[in-house]
Amino acid sequence: MRFEARGLHSGYGSVPVLHGVSFCVSDGEIVALVGRNGAGKTTLVRTVVGLLRATDGQLRLDGADITRMPPSRRVRAGLRAAFQERSLFSQLSVGDNLRLSGHPVAEHGRVLAMFGESLAGREAQRAGTLSGGEQKMLAAASALASTASILLMDEPTEGLQPSNVELLGDALAAARQEGRGVLLVEQHLALALRLADRFIVLEKGEIVDAGDAGETGLADRLSGRLAL
């Protein structure tokens, strides 16, 4: 499956944030979207999944125009996101959150084991009592364990200890091996450099640089962009 954004514009009310963003994510590849805070990365993810309306441009999934599809239909079509902000039902249990995300009870152990012992056996715990990092892990594990063909991971390492960042990286690499496409929105440049096949740099709502992972000098270029 291939996801494409073509000349995408979006924002909040009368305030534009994205200015003609175009990129694609194909089967079996990880595309890292990097940029400083305020560059428009989360706005891009929210627009792709339909939580924000695109004011211009087009979103296509396997050739079909999904620009005006509601979020629920985009999920059914094969898109799934884990957001930077906590997006769980805090008053419900971990298990209830997984069920609402489409994971049957028989799968809960497998989903929660993605991060070793951090979440294992905690189905009955109220999701809002998990630490911030644990909530991020639960959201990431739920997305990665889904059947979605295209995954959008918005700052998934934020608040995670190094050992869990490694486990997340392993899970993302496994998703690519399964033939899924991943848009990895990430400021953890070391993880992005370890995983990504291609890079996109977003600045003030525009793509200002892009390159393949093996491109000479790319790491220095990315570091320079992020340090500005």
Q: What confidence score (pLDDT) does residue 47 get?
A: 96
pLDDT above 80: residue 188: no
pLDDT above 80: residue 84: no
Identify the H or E element spanning 185: strand 181-185
Please indicate, yes or no, if residue 116 is contained in any of the structural domains: no
Please indicate, yes or no, if residue 15 is contained in any of the structural domains: yes
Q: What confidence score (pLDDT) does residue 86 get?
A: 65
> How many domains does the chain fold into?
1
Please indicate, yes or no, if residue 92 is contained in any of the structural domains: no
Mean per-residue pLDDT over the chain, rounded? 92
Residue range 159-188: mean pLDDT, rounded: 93
Q: How far is CA 39 from CA 36, 44, 104, 161, in A?
A: 6, 10, 37, 25
What predicted TM-score, i.e. pTM, was given to this entire model?
0.91
Please indicate, yes or no, if residue 105 is contained in any of the structural domains: no
Q: What is the CATH number of the domain that holds 207?
A: 3.40.50.300
- CA–CA distance, 74 with 60 (Å, rounded to integer): 10
**pLDDT per position as a tens digit, 91-143:** 999 999 999 989 999 999 999 999 999 999 999 999 999 998 899 999 999 99
Q: For residues 14-24, b (16+ Cβ closer than 10 Å) or e, as one string?
A: eeebbbebebb
Please indicate, yes or no, if residue 118 is contained in any of the structural domains: no
Please indicate, yes or no, if residue 107 is contained in any of the structural domains: no
Residue range 45-74: mean pLDDT, rounded: 95
* Percentage of residues of the chain with pLDDT beyond 90: 78
Nearest to 47 by CA among 89, 8, 78: 8
Domain holding 181, by residue range, is 3-86+128-227
Eight-state DSSP code of residue 173:
H
Please indicate, yes or no, if residue 33 is contained in any of the structural domains: yes
Nearest to 131 by CA among 94, 99, 165: 94
Please indicate, yes or no, if residue 42 is contained in any of the structural domains: yes
pLDDT above 70: residue 228: no
